[in-house]
Amino acid sequence: MTTIDIDNESCIKCSKCVKVCPAYILTQESAKAEINVRNVQTCIGCGHCVAVCPTDSVIHSLFPQEKVHTLNRDIIPSPEQVMELCKARRSNRAFLSSPVPESYLRQIVEAAHLAPTASNGQEVSFTLVTNPDLLKQVSDITIDTFEATVKKISNPLIKPFLGLISPEAKGAASKLNAVIAKHKSGTDAILRGAKAILFIHTPSTANFGRQDSNLAYQNASLMAESLGVSQFYTGYVCIAIDLDKKKKLAKLLNIEGNIHAGMALSMPAFKFPKYTDREDLKLTIF
C-alpha cells in the first residue's frame, strides 16, 4: 500500500509538490499553509512530488532515499547541442562487421526505459537480440510473412474487392515483392546486416502501448546517436508483426503482449559530416 507523508518540520510550504501532482493528492488551503495529503490510493507513483521538493520533506513509500537522486544540471546539453544531435540523427545502414559494445547497448536500453508513459503505467518492456541465428530468423519470418500476404492479396477471388476492403493494400503487392526478391538474391533487405535489434513491447492490455513504445524509441534513438551507434527503425519487421496474426516473431522471442517498435543497431562504417535541410516546416499556430 502506497503511503505519503509530509515532514512539517522541514517543509517550507512552497507548494511545488501541490502544483506538480497530476492526481491532486497534495493540497494547500492557502499560501504558506501546511501541505495535506488526501486520496493516496489514486497515486500513480510518478515521483513528481519527491523530485520537486527542495527540502526532502515528501516521504513517499515508493521512493525511499536510495531511489532519489540529485540531478546534475551542469552536464545537461544546451538547446543548441540537442538541436545539433537531432540534425545528426540519420538512418545509417552502412555498418562495420564488429558488434556494438554491450555497455552501449545497455545505455541505449536504459535511455528508452526512462521515457515517459501514459499515467506512469511503465508497462514497456524490451527484448534485445544479438544472436546471429535469431537475427536471421527475424529477417526470415518477416519475408515469410510478406510472401503469405502477397499470396493472399493476389488471390483472384479477393483481388477484385481489395480496393474496397483495404485501399492501401492495393499497391502493396509490388512493393512487398521487391523486398522479397532483394532478400532472396542474398541481400539482407530487412536488417541490412545489423548486429543487434531492440524490440519494444507492452502487455496486450496496455491502452497506450504503441504510444508509450514509440516514446521509448525516441529516447533510445537519441542515445544511440550520442554514442556513435547507427540505428534505423525496423519498419519492414514492424509491418510483418502487424500482418502476422500467429505472432511467430513474438513466440520465437518469448514475448508476451504486443511488439510496437523495433530498432536495428550496429557500429557505422562511417559518419555523416553534414546534414541536409528537410522540406519547409509545416506549422499552424492558433
The predicted pLDDT at position 133 comes to 97
Does residue 286 sit within a domain?
A: no
Sort residue 14 into left (φ over 0), alpha (ψ -120 to 50) or beta: alpha
Q: Which residue has the higher pLDDT, 100 or 171?
A: 100
**How many domains in the chain?**
2
Last residue of a domain, one of 67, 95, 115: 67
β-bridge mates for residue 59, sequence order: 5
In terms of domains, do 18 and 142 share one?
A: no
Q: Give the residue from 67, 90, 105 where a domain finishes.
A: 67
Q: How far apart are CA 81 and CA 36, in angstroms?
A: 41
H or E element that contains 237? helix 235-243
Same domain, residue pair 157 and 191: yes
Mean per-residue pLDDT, 222-228: 96
Domain with residue 100: its CATH number is: 3.40.109.10
Residues 54 and 91 in one domain: no
Q: Tens digit of pLDDT for each residue in 23-64?
A: 999 999 999 999 999 999 999 999 999 999 999 999 999 999
Task: Tell me if residue 53 falls in helix, strand or coil.
Answer: coil
Tell me whether residue 200 is in a domain: yes
49 shares a domain with 183: no
Residue 14 domain boundaries: 4-67
Instruction: Say which residues have a Cβ less than 8 Å from residue 201's Cβ, sequence separation at least 6.
Output: 124, 125, 126, 127, 209, 213, 250, 255, 257, 258, 259, 260
Is 72 inside a domain boundary?
A: no
Q: Is residue 277 a part of any domain in this protein?
A: no
Are 128 and 257 in a shared domain? Answer: yes
For the entire predicted model, the pTM comes to 0.90
For residues 58 and 161, state if they share a domain. Answer: no
Q: Do 87 and 152 fall within a single domain?
A: yes
- The three state secondary structure string of 100-131 is CCHHHHHHHHHHHHCCCCHHHCCCCEEEEECC
- 279 within some domain: no
Average pLDDT value over all residues in the chain: 92
For residue 140, give the amino acid letter.
D
In contact, 188 and 102? CB cutoff 8 Å: no
231 and 119 in a common domain: yes
